[in-house]
Amino acid sequence: MSVTTPPTAVAAPPPAQRPRRTRRLWTGIVAGPLFLAVAIVAGFTREDYDPARHPVSSLSIGPGGWVQIANFIVAGLLTLVFAVRLRAGLKASGRRTFAGPLLIGVWAVGLLGAGVFVGDPISGYPAGTPATGIHTWHGQLHDVPFSAAGFLAMTAACLVFAFRFATWRQFGWAGYSGLSGLLVAVGIVLSSAGFAQGDLVDIAGLLQRATVAVGLAWLTALAVHVRNCGRR
């Protein structure tokens, strides 16, 4: 009579042997929370600055502005690394998309440009400047090619992933991504109207922060999701 030898259990590979394609996705996990934390602390410690009224970009102006400039650049670099590795991370979990990671990369470049080119004073900050702002060449570069393109790219990335998640039959993620894209789009319109000194001027900064928080929360959740899927 033969004796059947039980199969030998295969130990899970140590962390060092996990697929390299998912290792750098941690940059997408930390970029958003780090950016928001620095911006919130700076907003509440800057003299004459009102977080509910003034944009995040105004924290780059004047003494101490280097903190927010560095915040933009660090967040941009972390997000850019995430965008580069995201496609490979999705492929590791059996899913493919090109447009989504590309759009997240555009958002990252927008953050970098917003850090390099300091925005103009607006809504009476710094104290003594006109409410309608002061227009400079670097402020125009900050607003149009980088900030505007970045927010539009974030909106488009959410909607692209909403479609892709639907095709992957992950309908919860599809709904979350689509809702996030819609909220970011609405937030951009409302906060921009406020910064143009419209009726929402007194809460324009709050609206912008809520918009950024929604977009970055989605980006962080996406990074966690893809990283976890890539480990399975």
| pLDDT reported for residue 230 | 62
Return the DSSP state at 24: G
Token pair recorded at residue 120 = 């103009």
Length of the chain in residues, anyone? Answer: 232
Residue 161 has pLDDT above 90, yes or no: yes
* 112-116, 170-174, 223-227: segment of lowest average pLDDT: 223-227
Q: Measured between alpha carbons, how far is 184 from 181 in angstroms, rounded to an integer?
A: 5
Model pLDDT for residues 194-223, shown as the tens digit of each residue: 999 999 999 999 999 999 999 999 999 999
Q: Give every CB contact of residue 66 below 8 A, 6+ residues apart in sequence.
A: none
Report the alpha-carbon distance of residue 109 to residue 120 in Å, rounded. Answer: 19
Assign 128 a pLDDT band (cuts: 50, 70, 90): confident
pLDDT, tens digit, 9 for 90 and up, residues 173-189: 999 999 999 999 999 99
